[in-house]
Amino acid sequence: MDKYDVKKAHKALYAPSAKEFSLVEVPELSYIAIDGHGDPNTSAEYVNAIEALYPVAYGVKFDSKRNLERDFVVGPLEGLWWADDMSSFVTRDKSAWSWTMMIVQPDWITPEMVTDAVAKARAKKDLAALERVRLLTLAEGTSAQILHVGSYDAEAPTLDRLHNQYMPEHGLTFNGHHHEIYLSDARRTAPEKLKTILRQPVKAVVGG
């Protein structure tokens, strides 16, 4: 049985340069997702979301392998981040952030499979955020991205360069939420070695 791996199927999306921004075309992809708000370092809502996503992700994987004979590698944790004032990402005012945490799914995964995985996860442990897990389809299109190596709080200079140099210089503006893809396990990786893809959907400035 071949095992699907989104990082190999869409290599350009998951292996950017750490030196320069690049533009990629992100196709429509599906995710299991949970929405929330607040500082991820202090918010119980954030912890609850992560605790719910993983058992559902593995439940979907096992059901797919057993019932459809289609196995896949569980993708990395990803997050959409936004705020009323986007400068809060540069100033790191995390209390102002809203987020959607998510894990990418193969295109054959259905809402019914997710619902079933949620029910099975609940039967094992009634986690607080299980009822909020949903299947999300996202079509980001043209996006600028770069690999950030280092702590999450050290992202600000790169985001400042993206927002205030790269995008204006290329006649681009925002076209979706800031997107992060966590390639490292923060529980097992030193902060200075964390690898995170920073992605921003963009579009041409009208009249630019």
What is the C-alpha to C-alpha distance for residues 37 and 96, in angstroms, rounded to an integer? 8
Confidence label for 208 from pLDDT (cuts 50, 70 and 90): low
- What Å distances lie between residue 161 and 21, 90, 167, 168, 208, CA to CA? 10, 10, 8, 10, 19
| pLDDT confidence of residue 36 | 94
Confidence label for 84 from pLDDT (cuts 50, 70 and 90): confident
pTM of the model: 0.92
Tell whether the model's pLDDT for residue 90 goes beyond 80.
Answer: no
Q: Where are the domains of the chain?
A: 3-204
Q: pLDDT for 28-83, tens place per residue?
A: 999 999 999 988 888 899 999 999 999 999 999 999 999 999 999 999 999 999 98
34: its two tokens: 């949970």
Q: pLDDT for 92-104, tens place per residue?
A: 778 888 999 999 9
Nearest Cα to 159, choosing from 102, 199, 204? 199
Q: Between these two residues, 42 and 119, which has the higher pLDDT value?
A: 119
| pLDDT confidence of residue 17 | 95
What is the C-alpha to C-alpha distance for residues 167 and 162, in angstroms, rounded to an integer? 6
Query: Domain 3-204, what architecture?
Result: Alpha-Beta Barrel (3.20)
| pLDDT confidence of residue 2 | 83
Q: pLDDT for 145-177, tens place per residue?
A: 999 999 998 998 999 999 999 999 999 999 999
| pLDDT confidence of residue 89 | 65
36: its two tokens: 């929330």
User: Are the beta carbons of 195 and 147 closer than 8 angstroms?
Assistant: yes
Tell whether the model's pLDDT for residue 87 goes beyond 90.
Answer: no
| pLDDT confidence of residue 62 | 97
| pLDDT confidence of residue 88 | 66
SS (H, E, C) the chain: CCEECHHHHCHHHHCCCCCCCEEEEECCEEEEEEEEECCCCCCHHHHHHHHHHHHHHHHHHHHHHHHHCCEECCCCEEEEEECCCCCHHHHCCHHHCEEEEEEEECCCCCHHHHHHHHHHHHHHCCCCCHHHCEEEEECCEEEEEEEEECCHHHCHHHHHHHHHHHHHHCCEEECCCEEEEECCCCCCCCHHHCEEEEEEEEEECCCC
| pLDDT confidence of residue 136 | 97
Q: pLDDT for 127-146, tens place per residue?
A: 999 999 999 999 999 999 99
